[in-house]
Structure 1
Amino acid sequence: MELHVITDGKQTIESLTEKILMIHREVDFIHIREKQKSAAEIMEIVTKLREKGVPTDKLIVNDRLDVALLQGLSRVHLPGSSFSIQEVKHYQPTIRIGRSVHSIEEAKKSEQDGADYLLYGHIFSTHSKEGLEPRGIDELKKICRSVSIPVIAIGGMTAETIKLIPDKVHGVAVMSSVMGSDDPLQAVKHLKKSRVKEEGEDENGL
Structure 2
Amino acid sequence: MVRKESLSKLSFILITDRNFCKQSFLTTIKLALKGGIKTIQLREKGLTTYELYSLASELRTTTSDFKANLIINDRVDIALAVEADGVHLGWQSLPYNIVRKLFGFEKLIGVSTHTIQEALQAQENKADYITFGPVFTTPSKAGLLDAVGPDEIQKLKNKVHIPVVALGGIHEGNVEAVLDKGADGIAVISSIMHADNPENAARSLSHKIGIYKK
TM-score by length of 2: 0.83
Indicate yes or no: 2:167 matched with 1:157.
no
Which residue of the partner structure matches residue 69 of structure 1?
80
* Preserved contact between residue 7 and residue 31 of structure 1 (Cα < 8 Å): yes
2:203 aligns with one of 180, 184, 189: 189
Using CA pairs under 8 Å that are at least 6 residues apart, name the structure with larger relative contact order, 1 or 2.
Answer: 2
Give the superposition deviation at 1:197: 5.0
Q: 1:9 to 1:74 in 2, by over 3 A?
A: same
Which residue of the partner structure matches residue 54 of structure 2?
44
Give the superposition deviation at 1:192: 2.2
Which residue of the partner structure matches residue 133 of structure 2?
121
Q: Which amino acid aligns with 1:27?
A: I
Matched positions, count: 199
Q: Which amino acid aligns with 2:77?
A: D
Identical columns (%) = 32
Q: What is the DSSP-based 3-state SS (H/G/I as helix, E as strand, rest coil) of the residue aligned with 1:118?
A: strand
Q: Which amino acid aligns with 2:76?
A: L
* Preserved contact between residue 11 and residue 209 of structure 2 (Cα < 8 Å): no
2:104 aligns with one of 69, 84, 93: 93
1:1-206 superposed matches below 5 A:
2-10=11-19, 15-25=24-34, 26-52=36-62, 53-54=64-65, 58-94=69-105, 95-131=107-143, 132-167=145-180, 168-195=182-209
Tell me how far apart the structure 1 counterparts of residues 60 and 74 of structure 2 sit (CA, whole Å).
19
Q: Deviations over 1:40-99 (max 9, x none)?
A: 112111222334454575111101111000111121111122111111112322221000
Q: Which amino acid aligns with 1:98?
A: G
Give the superposition deviation at 1:103: 1.1
Q: Point out where structure 2 has 5 or more consecutive residues left out of the alignment.
A: 1-9
Q: Point out where structure 1 has 5 or more consecutive residues left out of the alignment.
A: 201-206
Detail structure 1 runs of 4+ shifted over 6 Å in the superposition: none
